[in-house]
């Protein structure tokens, strides 16, 4: 069918034509944010899930929803090598400048902007990547100790006080939170904890790979009690079918029941894969309805497209020894796998492989669901590894 009108949208953070199966979670977050605005006790929410399950698009949708009801939001994506203070500072500034346009909150927002100036100046030595415009001179003693944990706490308190005065809340949306360094995570947790204790309307809605939960606990032991960690997984079959059938129906295109069934089976309900299969099934079909045969043919091109994009970008970032480690894992199946079994595949000692495993964890390729276990963070990555490194050559 006409590729121009193809509704499906595979891509990192690309909004899907139908955000299927996430209503309950969106409602939970909406309620949490409304409670924060009323200064009622609320936990911050950290969504955890594998690559391509739809964490980023959920964050964005939640943010749009919050903004539409007058909430102040910040949106940050933590890359692998920028500091958290450097990411926070410019976004905080924007939020404070908006708050300072509110007559009630103006004085408190300006005070927080002074705090931000002190914060940025004092931390510039430790975090050289901080770049933020100054609107006011610092207020001596406000968030300017040069100690991140202390200063972030003071700063968020000042921001929270301004938001409260404006009858709103500040919601900090952070994506890829697993990449934030442990000391910085610890400071963020402390600051949010402090704000919660003081009933200030500041809350975090974050997303990250499954290892995030453990990292938060390592940064601060009480983090597990302070946050909710809803798991974002593949869509259940009914939702997965809606994700395909509804956007098609919107253009008067029918997807036959057995074709839908087959898409759900091939994708395991993973949102990224659903978009890819939807796109290829649409392009393959000559006309409505999309049939099982169309999906059959689409599977081949969908897998090829995934190999060239979704999987490939991850594979290309790996060193030869990391590739070999993942290939050995893939040989064992989807996982999770015991470290000992992986080592045996490679004829090596578990300890000798420790550094490789750690690098793969910090690159976000694998994670440890429980002690001594290793799992892929990318769904169906085992199949990809067997496709891209076929045969037995990798063993050498």
Ligand X SMILES: Nc1ncnc2c1ncn2[C@@H]1O[C@H](COP(=O)(O)OP(=O)(O)OP(=O)(O)O)[C@@H](O)[C@H]1O
Binding site for ligand X (CB under 6 A): 9-16, 18-22, 49, 51-57, 243, 271-272, 274-275
Closest CA to 277 of 306, 256, 307: 306
Nearer residue to Mg ion within complex by CB, 183 or 361: 361
Nearer residue to Mg ion within complex by CB, 57 or 163: 57
What is the DSSP code string of 4-70?
GG-----STTPPPSS-TT-HHHHHHHHHHHHHHHTT----EEEEE--TTSSHHHHHHHHHHHHHHTT
Taking CB positions, which residue lies at the least distance from ligand X? 54
Nearer residue to Mg ion within complex by CB, 118 or 206: 206
Q: Which does 271 bind (CB under 5 to 8 A by kind): Mg ion, ligand X, none?
A: ligand X
Nearer residue to ligand X within complex by CB, 27 or 137: 27
- The percent helix, strand, coil of the chain (3-state, each to 5) is 55, 10, 35
Q: Binding residue for Mg ion (CB under 5 A) from 42, 44, 56, 72?
A: 56
Whole-angstrom distance, CA of residue 108 vs CA of residue 116: 12
Closest CA to 13 of 61, 56, 49: 56
Taking CB positions, which residue lies at the least distance from Mg ion? 56
Asked if 87 and 129 touch (Cβ cutoff 8 Å), the reply is no
Partners of 204 in the beta sheet? 172
Nearest approach in angstroms of CB 12 to Mg ion is 6
SS3 355: helix
153 binds Mg ion, rule: CB under 5 A? no
Q: Which does 57 bind (CB under 5 to 8 A by kind): Mg ion, ligand X, none?
A: ligand X
Asked if 91 and 74 touch (Cβ cutoff 8 Å), the reply is yes
What is the DSSP code string of 173-190?
EEESGGGS-HHHHHHHHH
Nearer residue to ligand X within complex by CB, 119 or 277: 277
Nearest approach in angstroms of CB 237 to ligand X is 13
Point out which span in 23-31, 36-44, 48-56, 70-78 binds Mg ion (CB under 5 A).
Answer: 48-56
Whole-angstrom distance, CA of residue 74 vs CA of residue 149: 20
Q: Which does 262 bind (CB under 5 to 8 A by kind): Mg ion, ligand X, none?
A: none
Nearer residue to ligand X within complex by CB, 11 or 214: 11
Nearest approach in angstroms of CB 52 to ligand X is 5
Nearest approach in angstroms of CB 14 to ligand X is 5
Nearer residue to ligand X within complex by CB, 46 or 112: 46
**Residues in touch with Mg ion (CB under 5 A):** 55-56
């Amino acid at each position: 069918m006409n590729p121009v009108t193809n509704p499906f949208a595979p891509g990192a953070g690309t909004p899907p034509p139908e955000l299927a199966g996430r209503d309950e979670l969106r409602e939970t977050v909406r309620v949490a944010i409304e409670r924060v605005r009323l200064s009622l006790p609320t936990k911050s929410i950290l969504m955890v899930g594998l690559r391509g399950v739809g964490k980023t698009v959920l964050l964005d949708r939640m943010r749009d929803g919050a903004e539409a009801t007058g909430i102040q939001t910040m949106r940050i994506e933590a890359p692998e090598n920028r500091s958290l203070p450097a990411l926070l500072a410019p976004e905080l500034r924007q939020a404070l400048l908006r708050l300072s346009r509110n007559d009630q909150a103006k004085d408190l927002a300006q005070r927080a902007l002074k705090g931000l100036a002190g914060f940025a100046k004092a931390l510039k030595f430790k975090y050289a990547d901080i770049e933020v415009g100054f609107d006011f001179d610092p207020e001596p003693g406000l968030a300017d100790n040069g100690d991140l944990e202390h200063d972030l706490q003071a700063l968020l308190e000042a921001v929270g006080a301004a938001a409260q005065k404006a009858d709103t809340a500040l919601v900090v949306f952070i994506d890829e939170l697993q990449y934030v360094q442990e000391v910085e995570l610890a400071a963020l947790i402390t600051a949010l904890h402090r704000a919660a204790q003081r009933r200030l309307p500041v809350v975090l809605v974050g997303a990250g790979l499954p290892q995030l939960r453990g990292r938060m606990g390592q940064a601060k032991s009480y983090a597990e009690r302070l946050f909710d960690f809803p798991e974002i997984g593949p869509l259940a079959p009914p939702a997965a079918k809606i994700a395909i059938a509804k956007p098609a129906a919107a253009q008067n295109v029918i997807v036959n029941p057995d074709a839908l069934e087959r898409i759900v089976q091939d994708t395991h309900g993973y949102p990224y894969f659903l978009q890819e299969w939807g796109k290829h099934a649409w392009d393959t079909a000559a006309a409505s309805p999309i049939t099982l045969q169309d999906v059959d043919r689409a599977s081949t091109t969908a897998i090829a497209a995934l190999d060239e994009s979704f999987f490939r970008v991850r594979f290309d970032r790996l060193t030869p020894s990391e590739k070999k480690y993942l290939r050995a894992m893939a040989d064992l199946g989807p996982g999770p796998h015991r470290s000992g079994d992986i080592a045996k595949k490679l004829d090596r000692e578990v300890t000798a492989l420790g550094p490789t495993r750690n690098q793969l964890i910090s690159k976000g390729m694998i994670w440890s669901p429980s002690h001594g276990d290793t799992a892929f963070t990318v769904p169906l990555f085992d199949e990809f590894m067997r496709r891209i490194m076929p045969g037995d050559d990798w063993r050498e």
